[in-house]
Amino acid sequence: MASEITYAEVKFKNASPAAVVEVPPETKKHEHHPQKYSPWLPWLISLLLLLVCIALIIALLVAPCSHSGDQPAALQQKFMEWQCVSAVPQGKGRGWTCCPKGWKRFQGSCYYLSDDTMPWADSVQNCTGMGSHLVVINTKAEQVFLTEEVRHSALGFNHYIGLSAPVVGQWQWADRTPYNETAAFWRSGEPTNVTVEKCVVIHKMSNIRNWNDIRCEHHYRICEAAAVTV
């Protein structure tokens, strides 16, 4: 007789439930959101562009008038009357070269020969106060011009120029132009290079070589400034 097979359901106590593996959710792709700008930003950019345009226009208008920075603004503020000469044919644009009334014009500069005397330091301040400086002689042509002007002057013999020696023998120009000994116009036997003679004058009764170092006492003076171009 065949045996019967009996099935039974068996439950074990304390049995661990099947391990559940938690799979991390799929990383979400970052969504790209367009960056938001302030509503006034376009207005700000427009304003900046407008200011840049205005600055460029002003620069274009001022640059021709400044003539490469040579215009003596202080000189223009000090004098009301001017004498001008035309340097270019009429109708060809800017070409009037002007100096204050009573000043002498030579090439691109204006010169003032004083009718009173002052010590060196006061002469420096006087020229500066007029928007100029004691004359700095750069060329032989300028030296010849000034020699003739001094020679025809009815005033004294000595006129200060902008050359001095704060240290004996170390000559320097008032505008810091380097001193060039080969382009100097000293009288014969000058300079003496002594402690008490630190200032330089053009001596009236000499030829083109008429520089003389002298005591910094009362003498006439020659002031120089760049001519105004209009």
Question: Would residue 224 be called left, alpha or beta, if left means φ above 0 and alpha means ψ between -120 and 50 degrees?
Answer: beta
pLDDT at 87: 67
pLDDT at 217: 96
pLDDT at 71: 44
Euclidean distance between CA atoms 147 and 206, whole angstroms: 8
pLDDT at 198: 96
Report all structural domains of the chain as residue ranges with CATH numbers, in order of start.
112-223 (3.10.100.10)
| Percent of residues, the chain, with pLDDT higher than 90 | 49
pLDDT at 90: 56
pLDDT at 155: 80
Low-confidence spans in the chain with pLDDT less than 70: 1-38, 58-73, 87-94
Dihedral angle, C-alpha 122, 179, 159, 157, nearest 10 ° = 140
pLDDT at 151: 92
Residues 6+ apart with CB under 8 A from 138: 177, 183
User: What phi and psi values does residue 79 have, to the nearest 5 degrees?
Assistant: -125, 140
